[in-house]
Structure 1
Amino acid sequence: MVTFSKNLRYYRRKNRLTQEMLANKIGVHSATTISNWELGNSSPNIYLLAKLCETLNVELTTLVYGAKS
């Protein structure tokens, strides 16, 4: 099963965003926060999940669970 962390990295790269650029767009303190999410060390709250989906132009279920095959 593809994890949220891998999906986040995939969609960030697909949108040609650096971790720092994404952090700025969703209003988190630094690229370290995005890195921690992508490494699975922590997770965003529901508010930030919604901002991620909007910024990355992806549905919540797809970001969290992956695309259906």
Structure 2
Amino acid sequence: MSKLRILMYHGVSADGKRDGLTVDTDQLEQHFHYLWSNGYTPLLFSELIACHAQKKASPTRRC
């Protein structure tokens, strides 16, 4: 059985201010670059719901 990994950000700061729940735009870009470089592509929650409703497996290496 495959596992679903969920990546969630509480806040993204354009001015560089961060806290435990907020990343700045440079850090967010680094995260997305890492995911893209490692074969992950985003899956919208609406796509996940559609896959479930149609009883289809979600694509592999999606996050």
- Per the normalisation by structure 1, the TM-score is 0.27
User: TM-score scaled by structure 2?
Assistant: 0.29
Higher helix share: 1
Higher gyration radius (CA): 2
